Amino acid sequence: MATDDRPVYVRLRDVIAEAILEGRYRDGDPLPSVRALAAEHGANPLTVAKAYQSFQDDGLVVVRRGVGMFVADGASAKLHRQARHRFLQNEWPRVRAQIERLEIRMDELFDHA
């Protein structure tokens, strides 16, 4: 089994991004506090704060002083565009090559969806 050698804050960022992409957090929704997310994932609060800071730097999260962190307007659409681009650039070429190598027809793919 492959191990994930990426820094913990990057993995936490992926967890949050996935939750936004899946609609568990929508634009304008509050995010869990740093302490709550740290406890949920067994992470250091400073690591969670670094993950949130990277989202804030990218304009995906806004801070309302004294209230908390919120998903920025347009964040879900921006994350969707980024994820789609990464898939098409990084993953699809390998998937397509495997499909061709195994001589899988498109109807077979859709029959197994």
CB atoms within 10 A of CB 79: 19
Pull the structure tokens for residue 61.
């999260």
Q: Which CATH architecture has domain 8-111?
A: Orthogonal Bundle (1.10)
Helix/strand/coil for 15 = helix
- Rounded Cα gap, residues 79 and 66, in angstroms: 26
Delimit the domains of the chain by residue range: 8-111
pTM for the predicted model, two decimal places: 0.79
Tokens 């004294």, located at residue: 66
Q: Phi/psi of residue 61, each to 5°? A: -135, 140
CB atoms within 10 A of CB 62: 16
pLDDT tens for the chain, 113 residues long, are 456 788 888 999 999 999 999 999 999 999 999 999 999 999 999 999 999 999 999 999 999 998 999 999 999 999 999 999 999 999 999 999 999 999 998 888 888 76
Nearest to 52, CA basis, from 6, 13, 11: 13
